[in-house]
Structure 1
């Protein structure tokens, strides 16, 4: 009976958990650099808030300088910038059947889905919108 109970407990434990770790850079990485597998290594220690898998970091852009051996925090990475500062972008505002499109100048860098400030070239008014996959900016109220 005792052996059966031990076997059941051992079976409930399930397969061994995958190794947890923290992603660290293997060399200093400047901000605005897109990360590749060659830039990263997995350290065995877990760090709260840090990126846990190399696959999660590949293709992301460093928002700040990343130093060798220091854990990469999720907040230090973002989508690669699609809109650069001072780039001319197409701004679109749509509400129901009304759609207004004009050109603007990006005042910040931003990736897909991120907010960016844009200056309307005609009125010089600054508005905020979200970057689309095509590189345009959708402005909301």
Structure 2
């Protein structure tokens, strides 16, 4: 399914714009603003066409001016940086443990990263929660 973006021309007409392209080079980890986007001139399969999907997102790779933006090129802004001390939560049934860990990667809410438990020096994998806590769960 194609989602088309319509923009008004200076002459008052409507023009079909197929893909979003950056107006400038956007480096990885930069947040995309409305002024960073413009409609492209051609349709590119897999490229974004709705600015709402890109505005406020973080560039995962360098986005070059004039080249279409793909969905995998952007993601939620990182809330945890590599080597940051983060709350590490473990839960299983009625058991709940909260300790501190060191993030082994940067990521945003919903991303899965590795974290080193500072007490045991064990590395675990957990999902970043919106509040910045990394949550691990036991296997059933």
- In structure 2, the residue matched to 1:58 is 55
Give unmatched runs, 5+ long, in structure 2. Answer: 7-15
Q: TM-score when scaled to structure 2?
A: 0.85
Kept after mapping to 2: 8 A contact 1:42/1:53: no
Q: Distance in 1 between matches of 2:49 and 2:125?
A: 33
Kept after mapping to 1: 8 A contact 2:17/2:39: no
Give unmatched runs, 5+ long, in structure 1. Answer: 1-16
- List aligned pairs for 1:20-31, cutoff 5 A: 21-31=18-28
Q: TM-score when scaled to structure 1?
A: 0.84
**1:140 Cα deviation (Å)?**
2.1
Q: Which one has a larger percent helix, Structure 1 or Structure 2?
A: 1
Q: Which one has a larger percent strand, Structure 1 or Structure 2?
A: 2
Number of aligned residues: 125
Instruction: Write out per-residue CA displacement over residues 25-50 of structure 1, whole angstroms, 9 at most, x where no aligned residue.
Output: 00011000000001111113221111
**1:83 Cα deviation (Å)?**
0.6
Aligned-residue CA RMSD (Å): 1.4
- In structure 1, the residue matched to 2:38 is 41
Kept after mapping to 1: 8 A contact 2:25/2:64: yes
Instruction: Write out per-residue CA displacement over residues 79-129 of structure 1, whole angstroms, 9 at most, x where no aligned residue.
Output: 000111111101111111100111000010110011111000111111110
Determine which structure has more spread, i.e. the larger CA radius of gyration: 1
Q: Aligned to 1:29, what secondary structure does the other structure show? A: coil
- In structure 2, the residue matched to 1:137 is 134
**1:53 Cα deviation (Å)?**
1.1
